[in-house]
Structures are given as C-alpha cells and as structure tokens.
C-alpha cells in the first residue's frame, strides 16, 4: 500500500498529536522535572511543525508554512537535545543556541529559492537537523541517561536520522531536489515516514526513560549509579536487613529517619534534578556521619540509618553530624537560607523487636521535628 503525500502528512499530524497527549499525561506525574519541560516543548514544536507542513502540502505556494515547518523541525530536535543535557545534569541546556539556529533556518526558509518556495532553506535545515541529531545521539549515551535501554534505543534512531539527513543534504547539493534519485530515495514521503518513526520512538523512549529512572531512584541508587559510595538499600532490602539486625544484635539499636524539608515543593518549584542533588547530599551526609551503619530508604523521600550497638547519645551525635555535614556541603544556589534536614530517632532496647514498628516511630518523630531543630527522639 502506497500513501500519497497529503495522507502521510495527515497521518503524521495524528501520530504527533497522539504521542504528545500520551507524553503530557505521563508528565503530570512529574511536573517538577526540568528535562520534562524541555521535552514537552519539543512535542509542542513537533505539533506546530506537522500542522505547518500539512498546510504546505495542500497548497502549491505557501512560503510561510514552509518557513514555520522547517524552523519547527529544527527547534524540536534542539529542545530534545536541551532536555537530554538537563537530564544528564549539565549546567547549561543551550536552548538559546537551539533557538538561534531555529531563527536562522526560519529566515533562510523565508527567502526566495531557485528550486521553489517548498525547497527554500533546505540546506540550512538539513545541516541543523544533522548536527542536532548527532548531538542527541551522543548525549543519550552519556551517564546517567546512557544507563537506560530506552536512551540507547533513542541514540540508535538518532544516528539513523543523522545518516539520513546528512546523505539527503549531500544529494540535495549534488543532484538537486528534482533529480530522479533524490525524488525516489529522499522524497518528502520518505522523510515524513522517518519523522513519524522518530516521533514515536522519542515519545516511547522519554516515557520509558522516566519510568526506569524513577524505579532506579526508588531502589535507592544514587546519582552516581550502582556501586556509588552514597548508594542506599531500597525499602524492601532495608526492612529485611533491619529485621535481621534486630534478631542478631544482643544490645540496643537506634534508627535515624532523615528527610530534606519541603523536598516535594522543591521538586515542583526547582525541578527533579535539584531534588535529586539534595537527596544525594543527604545520603552522603548520612554515610559520612556513620560509615559502618546500614543506610536505606524507608519511604519515598526519607532515608533511614540503623546504628547497631548504639544508644541515644550516640544517635544524637550522629544526627548532629548529619545536619552539620549537609549544611557544610551547601551549594551556592542555596544561599542565603538553604534546605534543612529533619531527623527523627527511635530506640530499640536489647532483645527481639519489630523493625517496621521502629521505622514508624522514627518517621513520626522526623515529621514532628521542626526544620533545623534538635532531632526528636521517640519515647
């Protein structure tokens, strides 16, 4: 079955809108993720691009739709690249660079072309698409993004996009758009199919990537990845290790429950990456204060530190060290008043005990503790 160009353009618009809706519905679970905002911007740009090309496909000479479509296609890839950089913790997204390139392509596409208005700005567009595709493919393989299979799939597709755009550019320069080879191998229909594949793979990769990253985070793996000195046990493993410790130890144990104050608000207002940095700082502070203790996750954003053969005085000293270390490692953007840590302490006397109950007691004290105050101790 062979589809004509108007049908393919309509199908492209349908696919982009459908995947965009799915992506935005998934994004409602992570409104604070900065990378999600960039990728959401890419989907908006992709929708505008397909609309512009659909209009262009229905008319013989609509120069503005070609300019908008070419510019939108470039900005879509630029926004995806910016989102990948932010996901990987880069200091700069370079979104303004992508915008500047978009403007250049848009202006070039608005100027008269000897090949007709529909081919205006094609060399500039293909150069930009080739460059951004290669940049995305490389960035997707960098850590932490490169740890996930969905990112590697995205990289593979973008390398194909790089190859296609690059060879299409060469063919445009060598034989021109009216040559039989160009109209067969690099036709608008073929390019539209490539764009549909790209949009679908990108949407699936981004949704899967966030799901994989969320699961990895919930399992307690620090930003540096598995094997990091700040890596913590996931909740299930920590509860199991704690129960075994209570059964094994003949002396008292103490559990510290620590969390960054207002972490949920920070995630929404400052982004997912910022909240991840703070959680890693908390894990590092706990590990520094008690290197030999069991460190694990006891709730979504709360970490637990189990001190074996220790008393309340020891626990209070460790808690004070945690707060001091967390404050000492404050970032410049934390000034003048940075995030604080709340710590609850629960003691388990010698003999058998219920570790889950100990966790609930320590967590309740952490919630009762005011920011920066002396850690609260369960009675």
Q: What percent of the chain has pLDDT over 70?
A: 77
Q: 78-129, pLDDT tens digit by residue? A: 999 998 988 887 778 899 999 999 999 999 999 988 888 888 999 999 999 9
Q: 29-48, pLDDT tens digit by residue? A: 444 456 778 888 888 888 88
Give the DSSP per-residue string, 214-245. HHHHHTT--TT-TT-TT--B-HHHHHHHHHHH
Q: 106-116, pLDDT tens digit by residue? A: 999 999 888 88
Q: What is the mean pLDDT of the segment spanning 228-236?
A: 68
Q: What is the mean pLDDT of the segment spanning 239-251?
A: 76
pLDDT at 109: 92
The larger pLDDT score, comparing residue 268 to residue 308, is at 308
Q: What is the pTM of this model?
A: 0.62
Nearest partner of 115 among 176, 190, 188, judged by Cα: 176
pLDDT at 3 over 80: no
Q: Considering the chain, what is the average pLDDT of its residues?
A: 79
Strand order in the sheet with 376-377: 294-299, 302-308, 253-260, 341-348, 376-377
pLDDT band at 49 (very low <50, low <70, confident <90, very high): confident
What is the CATH architecture assignment of 235-377?
A: 2-Layer Sandwich (3.30)
Q: What is the mean pLDDT of the segment spanning 231-238?
A: 80
Q: What is the mean pLDDT of the segment spanning 304-328?
A: 89
CATH class of domain segment(s) 5-218: mainly alpha
Backbone φ and ψ of 93, nearest 5° = -85, -25
Distance CA 175, CA 8 (A): 25
Indicate the domain borders of the chain: 5-218, 235-377
pLDDT at 224 over 60: no
Give the CA distances from residue 308 to residues 158, 248, 264, in Å, rounded to whole numbers and listed in that order: 51, 10, 31
Q: 321-341, pLDDT tens digit by residue? A: 999 988 887 665 554 457 889
User: Could you tell me the two tokens for 184?
Assistant: 């067969």
The larger pLDDT score, comparing residue 188 to residue 256, is at 256
Distance CA 111, CA 366 (A): 64
């Amino acid at each position: 079955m062979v589809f004509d160009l108007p049908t393919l353009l309509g199908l492209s618009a349908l696919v982009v809108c459908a995947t965009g809706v799915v992506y935005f519905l998934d994004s409602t679970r992570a409104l604070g993720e900065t990378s999600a905002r960039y990728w959401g911007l890419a989907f908006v740009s992709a929708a505008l691009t397909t609309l512009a090309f659909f209009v262009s496909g229905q008319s013989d000479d609509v120069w503005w739709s070609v300019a908008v479509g070419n510019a939108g296609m470039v900005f879509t890839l630029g926004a995806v690249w910016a989102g990948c950089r932010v996901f990987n913790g880069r200091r700069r997204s370079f979104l303004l660079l992508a915008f500047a390139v978009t403007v250049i392509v848009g202006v070039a596409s608005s100027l008269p072309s000897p090949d007709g208005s529909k081919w205006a700005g094609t060399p500039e567009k293909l150069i930009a698409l080739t460059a951004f595709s290669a940049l995305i493919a490389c960035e997707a393989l960098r850590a932490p993004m490169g740890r996930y299979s969905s990112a590697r799939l995205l990289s593979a597709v973008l390398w194909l996009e790089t190859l296609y755009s690059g060879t299409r550019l060469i063919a445009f320069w060598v034989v021109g758009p009216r040559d039989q080879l160009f109209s067969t191998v690099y036709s608008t229909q073929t390019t539209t199919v490539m764009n549909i594949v790209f949009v679908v793979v990108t949407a699936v990769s981004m949704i899967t990537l966030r799901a994989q990253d969320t699961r990895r985070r919930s399992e307690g793996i620090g930003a540096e990845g598995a094997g990091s000195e700040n890596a913590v046990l996931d909740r299930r493993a920590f509860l199991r290790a704690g129960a075994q410790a209570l059964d094994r130890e003949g002396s008292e144990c103490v559990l510290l429950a620590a969390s960054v104050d207002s972490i949920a608000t920070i995630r929404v207002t400052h982004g997912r990456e910022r909240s991840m940095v703070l959680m890693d700082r908390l894990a590092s502070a706990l590990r520094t204060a008690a290197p030999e203790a069991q460190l694990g996750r006891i709730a979504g954003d709360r970490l637990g530190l189990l001190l074996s053969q220790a008393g309340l005085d020891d626990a209070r000293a460790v808690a004070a060290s945690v707060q001091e270390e967390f404050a000492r490692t404050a970032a410049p953007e934390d000034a003048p008043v940075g995030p604080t840590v709340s710590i609850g302490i629960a003691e388990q006397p010698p003999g058998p005990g219920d570790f889950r109950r100990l966790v609930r007691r320590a967590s309740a004290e952490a919630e009762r503790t005011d920011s920066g105050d002396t850690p609260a101790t369960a009675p």
